[in-house]
Amino acid sequence: MDSEFRDVREKFNNNASQYDSQRKKIIPCFDDFYSIAVSVAKTSNEKPNILDIGAGTGLLSFFALEKYPNANLTLIDISEKMLEQAKERFKGKPKVNYIIGDYSKYKFDKKYDVIISALSIHHLTEDEKKQLYKSIYLALNQNGVFVNADQVLGSTPYLETLYKGDWKDKVKRSGLSKEELSSAFERTNLDKMSTLEDQLKWLREIGFSDVDCIYKYFNFVVLFGRRN
């Protein structure tokens, strides 16, 4: 197990119990960000197989299950503490499966109608993102969709400074304690964000169709792609 993997897992294990309560304060565009991601996670299958990449506490999965109550849901994350929170969230739901593991290296042997992710893939390097996007493409059924609600790097140094400054200003006014602020800012050291333009290009090169940025708020984006 490499040191970066351990660092990410440790940071999120340590923050698991407070993670959900902080979301609306840490994500200024929380309501649009999650609702739009779920809105475009479309499938004609009334009992879809849905995979949540970097699922954490299962927040995005929760909204997806509200939309598709008969779905078969699979959550994968490196943090066992985060998934423990997810298990509490989905207690009594029989069609929810959990995988503790590094999704950037995991071999998905099932096919899915919808693959979703929120605020996780930006922790990967560019090469790891490309490889993951290939794995996601291959794991989708025909007409399956991939929705990634994530953060991107500003396309110029000026824009990146603008994005970071806006986010920090809003988070500082959010009501988080000094300890919570310190923890949130420290977690940004784990980020390896890539630009929006690069990621749209990679998705198209891999073979996704209808690739688009459905929503954008500074560096918060919802990316979409479909497998024909």
Q: pLDDT value at position 10?
A: 56
Domain holding 86, by residue range, is 3-226
Arithmetic mean of pLDDT over the chain: 92
Q: Is the predicted pLDDT of residue 170 greater than 70, yes or no? A: yes
Tally of structural domains, the chain: 1
- Under a CB-based contact definition with an 8 Å cutoff, are residues 203 and 161 in contact? no
Quick check: helix, strand or coil at residue 110? coil
Q: pLDDT value at position 224?
A: 98
Q: In CATH, what number is assigned to the domain containing residue 181?
A: 3.40.50.150
For the chain, percent of residues with pLDDT exceeding 70:
92
Q: pTM (2 decimals)?
A: 0.90
Measured at the CA of 182, the angle between CA 57 and CA 191, to 5 degrees, comes to: 60
Q: Is the predicted pLDDT of residue 111 greater than 50, yes or no? A: yes
Q: pLDDT value at position 18?
A: 59
d(CA 226, CA 221): 17
- Which residue blocks in the chain are alpha helix, DSSP H? 3-15, 19-26, 30-39, 59-67, 80-89, 126-139, 157-172, 178-187, 196-206
Q: Is the predicted pLDDT of residue 6 greater than 70, yes or no? A: no
Q: Is the predicted pLDDT of residue 12 greater than 70, yes or no? A: no
Q: pLDDT value at position 189?
A: 84
